[in-house]
């Protein structure tokens, strides 16, 4: 069984290039998906508190450790949710994720979004709604990214995280937290597929040895638009390689040096997504042209409820927002 390629992070640790995404996996689906994936050779699983299924992921891990894999052979990522950005909440939330996953440590702990929400009581919605503005999330505009990042840095001494990083961060946000703390994120996990090239971000991350993990590599499944796997241009390339469209999209991300975390709960897809193919420069460029002509970012929080009234990406769809991110 092939375990696939790995890439080296700035810490020296290896990250398996293809991992399994777990967002929007329905109850009882993700446990099976994680087990199937690990038995098929996946060693990298992407999790988050907000996916509200980490206990199921944990149950799957329990089934395969140590009979199929040793813990140290796996690369497990989880993320700090927006309601736990206050410094004193960062370690307790990590502890809760570790409990759900049944682990002593994670390989990577990310700040999920550069946006804070007020803390919420256990058991209530993790996207608290503004009572005066139905459909919109309440923001915590006091806690800065630097406050949160300092608490993330402290975790490195606890042995409970091997590396820390960010997700959905623009270059100026990363520069801001590094200026205040001197500590670079090891990873930035961002939406990345041929329609969302974000060459500036990619160049910035390369220059500063920040590894990029590509989320929604097949096109975001929340957006209601046809997935990129349905696009004629992608299908045409796939035919040439006798591959699936998903394999082509995953290969596109791999060629850019990303790790790529397609989500699936369908065993045949989980297995085929892990079978890596390599694109020619010409086919890679053909796919890049799709984004050069029609750039599209799907995961814009002003486009689906609960809406977030804050500028995340300087995307045209965010032009009417009220707030900017507080870095310091
Ligand atoms: N950091 C962040 O803010 C953030 C945001 C979004 C996502 N993520 C992470 O990235 C992961 C992937 O992103 P995503 O879930 O948004 O989207 P995605 O992986 O691009 O697409 C998932 C969708 O593609 C389908 N699919 C999977 N393999 C396929 C194949 N071979 N052929 C056709 N369709 C296929 C899946 O269906 P089935 O499951 O039914 O097979 C699912 O509907 C997430 O699960 C999560 O772990 C992170």
CATH of the domain at 295: 3.20.20.100
Q: How far apart are CA 295 and CA 316, in angstroms?
A: 11
Is 51 part of the annotated catalytic residue set?
A: yes
Closest residue to atom 4 of ligand 1, CA basis: 215
Domain presence at residue 22: yes
CB burial readout 65-93, b (16+ within 10 A) else e: beeebeeeebbbbbbbbbbbbbbebbbeb
The count of domains in the chain is: 1
Residue span of the structural domain in which 99 resides: 6-318
Q: Which of 42, 51, 258, 298 is the catalytic position?
A: 51
CA 202 to chain centre: 15
Domain presence at residue 132: yes
Residue 259: which of 38, 1, 25, 77 has the closest Cα?
Answer: 77
Q: Tell me the CA–centroid distance for residue 303 and ligand 1, in Å.
A: 19
Asked if 137 and 50 touch (Cβ cutoff 8 Å), the reply is no
CA contacts within 13 A on the Cβ side of 310: 17
pLDDT tens-digit series, residues 10-62: 999 999 999 999 998 787 899 999 999 999 999 999 999 999 999 999 999 99
Domain presence at residue 120: yes
Residue 28: predicted pLDDT: 84
Pocket perturbation via mutation, ligand 1, pick of 18, 216, 303 by most ligand atoms within 8 A of CB: 216
Q: Tell me the CA–centroid distance for residue 133 and ligand 1, in Å.
A: 30
Domain presence at residue 325: no
- Is residue 264 within 6 Å of ligand 1 at its C-beta? yes
Burial of 177 (0-12, 13-18, 19+ CB in 10 A): buried
Asked if 284 and 250 touch (Cβ cutoff 8 Å), the reply is no
pLDDT tens-digit series, residues 257-292: 999 999 999 999 999 999 999 999 999 999 999 999
Domain presence at residue 175: yes
| 208 assigned binding-site residue | no
Question: Which residues lie closer than 8 Å to 184 by C-beta, 6 or more apart?
Answer: 10, 174, 178, 208, 209, 210
Domain presence at residue 328: no
Percent of the chain with pLDDT strictly greater than 70? 100
Mean predicted lDDT score pLDDT of the chain = 96
Q: How far apart are CA 211 and CA 107, in angstroms?
A: 14
Domain presence at residue 267: yes
- Is residue 217 within 6 Å of ligand 1 at its C-beta? yes
- Is residue 259 within 6 Å of ligand 1 at its C-beta? no
Domain presence at residue 268: yes
Q: Mark residue 118 as left, alpha or beta (left: phi above 0; alpha: psi -120 to 50; beta: remaining).
A: beta
- Is residue 117 within 6 Å of ligand 1 at its C-beta? no
Q: Residue 223: is its pLDDT beyond 80?
A: no
Question: Which residues lie closer than 8 Å to 188 by C-beta, 6 or more apart?
Answer: 165, 166, 167, 169, 174, 201, 205, 210, 211, 212, 213
């Amino acid at each position: 069984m092939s375990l696939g390629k790995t890439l080296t992070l700035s810490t020296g640790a290896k990250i398996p290039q293809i991992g399994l995404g777990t967002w929007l996996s329905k109850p009882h689906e993700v446990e099976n998906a994680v087990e199937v994936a690990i038995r098929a050779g996946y060693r990298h699983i992407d999790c988050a508190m907000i996916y509200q299924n980490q206990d199921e992921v944990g149950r799957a891990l329990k089934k395969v450790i140590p009979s199929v894999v040793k813990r140290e052979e796996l690369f497990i990522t989880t993320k700090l949710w927006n309601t736990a950005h206050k410094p004193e909440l960062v370690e307790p939330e990590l502890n809760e994720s570790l409990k759900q996953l049944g682990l002593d440590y994670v390989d990577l702990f990310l700040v999920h979004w550069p946006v804070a929400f007020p803390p919420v009581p256990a058991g209530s919605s993790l996207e608290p709604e503004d009572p005066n503005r139905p459909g919109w999330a309440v923001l915590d505009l006091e806690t800065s990214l630097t406050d949160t990042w300092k608490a993330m840095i402290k975790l490195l001494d606890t042995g409970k995280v091997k590396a820390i990083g960010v997700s959905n961060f623009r270059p100026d946000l990363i520069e801001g937290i590094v200026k205040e703390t001197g500590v670079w994120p090891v990873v930035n996990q961002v939406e990345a597929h041929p329609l969302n090239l974000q060459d500036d971000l990619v160049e910035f991350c390369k220059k500063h040895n920040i590894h990029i993990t590509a989320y929604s590599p097949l096109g975001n499944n929340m957006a209601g638009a046809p997935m990129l796997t349905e696009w004629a241009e992608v299908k045409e390339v796939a035919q040439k390689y006798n591959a699936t469209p998903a394999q082509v999209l995953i290969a596109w991300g791999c060629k850019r040096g990303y790790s790529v975390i397609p989500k699936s709960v369908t065993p045949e897809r989980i297995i085929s997504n892990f079978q890596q193919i390599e694109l020619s420069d010409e086919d890679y460029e053909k796919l890049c042209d799709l984004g050069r002509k029609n750039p599209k970012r799907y995961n814009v929080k002003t486009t689906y409820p609960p809406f977030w009234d804050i500028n995340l990406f300087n995307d045209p769809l965010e032009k009417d927002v009220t707030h900017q991110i507080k870095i310091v």
